[in-house]
Amino acid sequence: MNNDTLIPLIGVVTDIRQDTPDVKTFRVNAIEGGKVFEHMPGQCAMLSIPGVGEGMFSITSSPTNKEFMEFSIKKCGCLTTWLHAMDVGQQITIRGPYGNYFPVETDLKGKDLLFIAGGIGLAPLRSVINYVRDNRANYGDVQIIYGSRSKDDLVDYQEIIDEWQADPNIKVNLTIDREQEGWDGHVGFVPNYVKELNPSTNKTVLVCGPPIMIKFTLAGLKELGFTETQVYTTMELRMKCGVGKCGRCNIGNKYVCKDGPVFRFDQLGELPDEY
Amino acid sequence: MQEAMIKRAKELLADGTVNRVIGWKKGEFFYDATPAVFRTAEELDRQFIFDDFTQANVSKYLVKESRKDGKILAFLKPCDTYSFNQLVKEHRIIRENVYVVGVPGGPKLDIEKIKAKGITGVLSVKNENYTLKIETLYGTEEMPFYEAISGKCESCKSKKHVAYDELIGEDGEVLESNRFDMVEKLENMTAEERFNFWQNELSKCIRCNACRNVCPACTCENCVFDNPKSGVDNKAPADSFEEKMFHIIRAFHVAGRCTDCGECSRVCPQNIPLHLLNRKFIKDINSLYGEYQAGADTTTKAPLNDYNTDDCEPSIVHERGVE
Amino acid sequence: MLKISADKLNSLFDAISAKQTLYITVDNEKGSAEYKKYESGMTLSKSLNTVRSAKDFFFPQTENLADFKVEGKNIEVIDVREESEDFVVFGVRACDARSFTILDKVFLSEPVDSYYKNRREHSTIITMACTKPAETCFCTAFGMDPTVPEGDVAVFSDGENYFFLERTEKGKKFIASISDMLEDGDTAKLNEVQEKARNIMKKLPLANLSTKSFGGERLMKHFNSEKWAELSESCLGCGTCTFVCPTCQCYDIRDFNTGHGIKRFRCWDSCMYSDFTKMAHGNSRNSQLERFRQRFMHKLVYFPANNNGEFGCVGCGRCLSKCPVSMNIVKVMKALEDKE
C-alpha cells in the first residue's frame, strides 16, 4: 500500500535550546541524519509523542538550512509540556510539511519587506527572515519589528543580536511591554511601536503574533495607509489531520491546514470572522 | 389543552409575570416538535404546540434559562416536575426565576413505535377510542393506541405534579408502576446472561452523547468524557471495556439523582434501553436505604449524600455481586 | 432485464456469500434495520433504510491508523494496514449511494486516504431502488432519482422479482459472476411499480424543498444570518445528527495506551461537540450557535463552494428522525431560504 500522510515518520531531537522561560527551540533530524523532509517558509509539521498527543507546529528554521529543522514551541498544553520535558536524543514522530507558505518565490520577490512579530509569533516568520537573508539579492529593504512581554520573552534573542542586528542590510526594532532593568531599548506594545516607526507604505508586511496583537497591528497599518493586500499573516486553529479532511480548522470554506496557514488580509476579509 | 395553555401563557406574558415561555414548537410534521422559548403572543399563536407527541422534558433548559433576565414560564408535565425539583435541589435551576405551570402528562406517543410496525410515509394520526387511525402516503393504517405509546410512558411512575405555581387541568396521583419488572428479569439472569445482554445492547452505542446531553441529571459544565485533563476523555470506545465504561460511569454518576424521566432511552438513536441501568440503581437504593424518589421534593437528603447508622454495610454490594 | 424471483433471493445470497463477504440490510428485534454480515437464513429488510448509514463500510466509527512501540527514547512506527477483503453490500439506497461520491471527494482527493480507499476499492455496491419513500425523504431536492439509484449494480423489485442493472464495470463483472442464477424477465410490472413510486415522490411532504437559496456564493449572507440564534436554541450539542448522517466525515485522531504499546486510532467526531475546535489557548467556536451553524454551513455552503456546487446532503432524512429535539437540515433550509 502507498504511504499515507497520517502515518508519521520518526525524527530525533538533536538539540534543545531554552529560549525564554516558556519557549524552547528543538532541533530535529532524521534518524540517519539530515532533514526528515523539505519544506517552504511558513509551512507546518505535525509532531507527536505517541500516547501523549499530536499537534501542528510551524517550522521555524529556514528551508535554506540543509542540516536540520527547528521548532520553537511554547509550553501551554499537555503535549507541549511533555515536549518541554524531553532530553536530547528523544525520538518524536513527525509528518508534513503541511499547508501553503509565504510567497517568497513569487509575490514577495523584489519587495521591501516588513516583518512584525509578537512573542512566539516570531517562530513562523523566522523561517522567512532567514530564507530572505540567505537569498538577500532577491528582496529589497528588510525591517523587523519584534516585541514581547519582557526581554526574557524575546524568542531567538541571541540570533537576533548576533546575526540579524549585526547584518547591515536588515533593520531590527525590538520592544518590550513594560520597563525592565537592563533594557534600554523601546518599551511599548507592538501595534503602537509600528505606528511610531511609521514605516513606508510601499512595504509588504508579514505579521504574526497573538490574535489581539494582529488585530491592532492591522488597524494601525491601515491608519498608516497600508492596504489589506499588502499584509500577510499566518493562522493557527485546532488541527488533527493536517490535510483538510478531519473538518475542524476551517474558516468558512477554507481549511487553515491546507488552504492556509498563510493568508493575505484581503483573503481573510472575504471569510467569516470565526477564528 | 393546547388552547388553554396558549391563552394562559399570553396572560402571563401580558401582565408581566413572565417575559418568556418555554414549551414546544410545531415541526415539519405532526410528530417532530422542538423545545423552544417563546417571547410574544404572536409566536405562541403561530408555533406553540402541545399534543400526544410533545414528549421532550424541557426542565434541563431551565438551568440556563433561569439565569437570564426576567422570569420564564415553564410548562411541565408530571414527570418533568421531578427533574425540575431535582435541579432546584442541586442549585442548578434558580426557582424564583421560573413560573411553573403544571400540565397533564402522557401517555405520549412515539412515532418510532408506529414506524417500527412497518407503517411508513405517515402524514397524520388520529386517536379514535384508543385506536390510532394513521393516514399515510400509501393509504390508511390502524394500530392500537397503547402499542404506540412512548417507552418512557409505558411504566409511568406518577401523574402527580411535585412542583408548580399553578395547574392547568387536574392533578394526578403517584402510581403503582411496573417499572422494575425488567430490572428483576435482569437480576434473575445468570451473570453471563446479563453480561451478554448488556454487551449486545451497549455494543450498538455510537457515542453520540444524546443520552448524556438530554439527561437532566447530567449538568456538569464540563463532562469528564469531554475534558482532556480528566485523563478518561474519549469519543469512541478504543476497546470493548470502554464501550461499557461510558454508560456505567454515567449511571453511577446520576445514581440517587436520576428521577427516571426516561429521556435517555427516548433519544437513543440505537434504541439502547439505557433507563434500565438507572432503574437498577433506583431499585437498589430503595431496597438498601429505604424508598426514595429523586425529585419528589427539594429538601430530603438523598440516600447517597446522607449517612445513617442503619445504612447497609458496604460489603453487601460485594456479597450481592457473588453468585 | 436479468432477474431472479423473490423466493430465490436467499439462494442468491448464499451463492454470493460463498465467494465473498456479503452484507445485507436486516431488521433487528426492535424493528429497525441495520447492515449485517450475511449468514444463511437471514432475510433482507423490508424497511426503507438503516438507522446507521452505509458510510460505516468505508469510514468506520473507529479504526486503527498505526501502532507505536516506545522504548526509552526510541519510537517504532508499525504500519497496521492490511489489504481489505473483497465485499459486497446489498440493499444500499440511492441517498447512501450518493453519499459515497461525496465521501470520495473528501477521502480520495489528494492526499488520498489509503484506509478509505482500500475498503472502497474492494467493495461492490448493490443498490436497491426505492418503491415506498418515507415522509422524511427529500433526496430529490439534491438531484437524485431514488427509483434508479447509483452504485455498481442497481436492483429493482416489482414485488415478485428482483431485476439487476449494471451501472459500472465492477457491476458488470458482478452480474456476470451470478448470471447462472439469473434469467431474462419481463419488466412491464416493474415499470408500473416505478411509475407509482415516481408519483409518490411528487407527493412527498418535502417534495418542494429547494436548494436554490444555497451554495458557495451565499457564504457571508448565510453565515451572518440572524436566524442561527433561534435555530440553535434547543440544540443539545450531541452528535446524533452527525453520526447517523451518511456524509458527515469529520474525525478525531487519538492515542490509546494498550499497556504494551500505543494504538493511534481515528474515530468519528462531531462539529457539534464543545471540544471539537478547542486548543490549549482558545476555541474558535465557543458557543453552540457557532457549532450548530458550522454543521449546516458545511453541508449547504462550504461543501458546494469547494466542490463545484455539489451539496453535502443527500436527503436521507436520518437527522429528521433521530435528532432528540427534532432540529434538522430541513428546518434550517426553510428558515434560511430566500423569501420571495
Same domain for B312 and B194 = yes
Residue with cell 520553537: A72
Q: Whole-angstrom Cα distance, residue B262 to residue B265?
A: 6
Handedness of CA B270, B271, B277, B278 (dihedral sign): positive
* Contact yes or no for C75 and A91 at CB 8 A: yes
DSSP character at residue B165: S
Q: B318 pLDDT exceeds 80?
A: no
DSSP conformation letters of B274-311: THHHHHHHHHHHHHHH----TTS-SSSPPGGG---TTS
Q: What pLDDT was estimated at residue C310?
A: 96
Chain B interface disruption, residue of C59, C203, C258, C325, most B CBs within 10 A: C325
Q: Model confidence over B195-221: pLDDT tens digits?
A: 999 999 999 999 999 999 999 999 998
Q: Model confidence over A201-230: pLDDT tens digits?
A: 999 999 999 988 999 999 999 999 999 999
Same domain for B165 and B56 = yes
Q: What pLDDT was estimated at residue B309?
A: 83
Q: What pLDDT was estimated at residue A194?
A: 95
- Residue B298 included in any domain: yes
| Residue B220 with chain C: CB contacts under 8 Å | none
In B47-106, the residues whose Cβ lies within 8 Å of chain C are: 56, 61
Helix/strand/coil percentages in chain C, nearest 5: 35, 20, 40
CB contact set of A208 (below 8 Å; sequence gap of 6+): A116, A117, A118, A121, A122, A123, A124, A125, A214, A233, A234
Number of H helices, E strands in chain A: 6, 15
Among residues C203, C234, C269, which one ends one of the domains? Answer: C203
Q: C194 pLDDT exceeds 70?
A: yes
Same domain for C133 and C28 = yes
Same domain for C164 and C225 = no
Name the maximum alpha-carbon separation found in chain C: 72
* Contact yes or no for A4 and C81 at CB 8 A: yes
Q: Whole-angstrom Cα distance, residue A81 to residue A188?
A: 30
Q: What pLDDT was estimated at residue C340?
A: 63
- Residue C47 included in any domain: yes
Residues C328/C319, Cβ–Cβ less than 8 Å: yes
Among residues C157, C172, C203, which one ends one of the domains? Answer: C203
Q: Whole-angstrom Cα distance, residue C65 to residue A165?
A: 47
Using CA coordinates, name the residue in chain A closest to C107. A245
Residue B161 phi, psi dihedral angles, 5° rounding: -85, 120
- Residue B63 included in any domain: yes
**Axis-axis angle for helices B240-254, B275-289 (nearest 10):** 50
CB contact set of C313 (below 8 Å; sequence gap of 6+): C142, C247, C299, C300, C329
Q: Give the mean pLDDT of B114-140.
A: 94
Same domain for B187 and B120 = no
Burial B184-216, CB ≥16 within 10 A → b, else e: eebeeeeeeeeeeebeebbebbbbbbbbbbbbb
Q: Whole-angstrom Cα distance, residue B232 to residue B214?
A: 21
Q: What pLDDT was estimated at residue C276?
A: 92
A236 in C contact zone (CB under 8 Å): yes
Same domain for B278 and B321 = yes
Same domain for C21 and C158 = yes
Same domain for C198 and C75 = yes
Same domain for B203 and B312 = yes
d(CA A110, nearest CA chain C) in Å: 32
Same domain for C64 and C192 = yes
Residues A180/A151, Cβ–Cβ less than 8 Å: yes
- Residue C275 included in any domain: yes
In B283-322, the residues whose Cβ lies within 8 Å of chain C are: none
Same domain for B309 and B234 = yes
CATH number at residue B55: 3.40.50
Residue A148, number of CB atoms within 10 A of its CB: 24
Please give the residue range of the domain that contains residue B239. Answer: 179-323
- Number of domains chain C is built from: 2
Low-confidence ranges of chain A (pLDDT < 50): none
- Picking from B164, B166, B171, B179, the residue whose alpha carbon sits closest to that of residue B81 is B164
Q: Which helix (H) or strand (E) holds C241?
A: helix C240-244
Chain B interface disruption, residue of C238, C245, C262, most B CBs within 10 A: C238
Q: Model confidence over B128-185: pLDDT tens digits?
A: 999 999 999 999 999 999 999 999 999 899 999 999 999 998 889 998 888 999 999 9
- Residue B74 included in any domain: yes
* Contact yes or no for C279 and A238 at CB 8 A: yes
Q: Model confidence over C304-326: pLDDT tens digits?
A: 999 999 999 999 999 999 999 99
Same domain for C306 and C171 = no
Kindly state the percentage of chain C with pLDDT values over 90: 91
d(CA C135, nearest CA chain B) in Å: 4
Kindly state the percentage of chain B with pLDDT values over 70: 98
- Residue B52 included in any domain: yes
Kindly state the percentage of chain C with pLDDT values over 70: 100
pTM of the model: 0.94
Q: Is the bond preceding residue B228 a cis peptide, omega within 30 degrees?
A: no
- Residue B153 included in any domain: no
* Contact yes or no for C284 and A52 at CB 8 A: no
Same domain for C313 and C172 = no
- Residue C287 included in any domain: yes
DSSP character at residue B95: G
> Between A and C, how many CB-CB pairs are < 8 A?
131
Q: Model confidence over B36-65: pLDDT tens digits?
A: 999 999 999 999 999 999 999 999 999 999
Same domain for C223 and C146 = no
**CB half-sphere exposure, A231, CA atoms < 13 A:** 22
Across the beta sheet with A262-264, the strand order is A186-187, A170-176, A142-148, A113-118, A204-208, A231-234, A262-264
**Axis-axis angle for helices C94-107, C114-121 (nearest 10):** 140
Q: Which set of grid coordinates corresponds to residue B285?
A: 437504593
Q: Model confidence over C118-154: pLDDT tens digits?
A: 999 999 999 999 999 999 999 999 999 999 999 999 9
* Contact yes or no for B28 and C62 at CB 8 A: no
Q: How far apart are the first and last CA of chain B?
A: 52
**Axis-axis angle for helices C169-178, C9-19 (nearest 10):** 110
Same domain for C229 and C183 = no
- Number of domains chain B is built from: 3
Q: Whole-angstrom Cα distance, residue B36 to residue B47?
A: 9
- Residue B130 included in any domain: yes
Q: Is the bond preceding residue B237 a cis peptide, omega within 30 degrees?
A: no
Burial A84-120, CB ≥16 within 10 A → b, else e: bebeeebbbbbbbbbbbbbbbeeebeebbbbbbbbbb
Q: What is the β-pairing status of strands A9-20 and A186-187?
A: unpaired
Q: C338 pLDDT exceeds 90?
A: no
d(CA A258, nearest CA chain C) in Å: 11
d(CA C12, nearest CA chain A) in Å: 33
- Residue C209 included in any domain: no
Q: Whole-angstrom Cα distance, residue C331 to residue A269?
A: 30
Q: C280 pLDDT exceeds 90?
A: no
Q: Whole-angstrom Cα distance, residue C233 to residue B64?
A: 11
Q: What is the β-pairing status of strands B139-144 and B131-136?
A: antiparallel
Same domain for B124 and B89 = no
- Picking from A91, A122, A86, A117, the residue whose alpha carbon sits closest to that of residue A29 is A91
Q: Whole-angstrom Cα distance, residue B146 to residue B143?
A: 9
Same domain for B222 and B132 = no
Q: Model confidence over B19-37: pLDDT tens digits?
A: 999 999 999 999 999 999 9
Q: Which set of grid coordinates corresponds to residue A201?
A: 507604505
- Residue B282 included in any domain: yes
Q: Whole-angstrom Cα distance, residue C130 to residue C146?
A: 6
Among residues C203, C232, C261, which one ends one of the domains? Answer: C203
Please give the residue range of the domain that contains residue C223. Answer: 216-336
Q: How far apart are the first and last CA of chain C?
A: 46
B144 in C contact zone (CB under 8 Å): no
Subunits with 3+ Cβ pairs within 8 Å of C are A, B
Q: What pLDDT was estimated at residue A213?
A: 92
Tell me the average pLDDT of chain A: 95
- Residue B31 included in any domain: yes
Same domain for B287 and B192 = yes
Q: Whole-angstrom Cα distance, residue B51 to residue B105?
A: 10
Tell me the CA distances in angstroms from B229 to A258, B290, C284, one per residue in order: 29, 37, 19
A269 in C contact zone (CB under 8 Å): no
- Residue C250 included in any domain: yes
In B108-137, the residues whose Cβ lies within 8 Å of chain C are: 112, 115-118, 120-123, 136-137
Q: Whole-angstrom Cα distance, residue A43 to residue A59?
A: 6
Same domain for B166 and B185 = no
Q: Give the mean pLDDT of C92-114.
A: 97
Number of H helices, E strands in chain B: 13, 8
Residue with cell 458496604: B314
Same domain for B229 and B132 = no
Same domain for B83 and B32 = yes
Residues A184/A173, Cβ–Cβ less than 8 Å: no
* Contact yes or no for C302 and A91 at CB 8 A: no
Same domain for C199 and C233 = no
Q: C8 pLDDT exceeds 90?
A: yes
- Residue C211 included in any domain: no
- Picking from B147, B268, B141, the residue whose alpha carbon sits closest to that of residue B202 is B268
| Residue A271 with chain C: CB contacts under 8 Å | 219
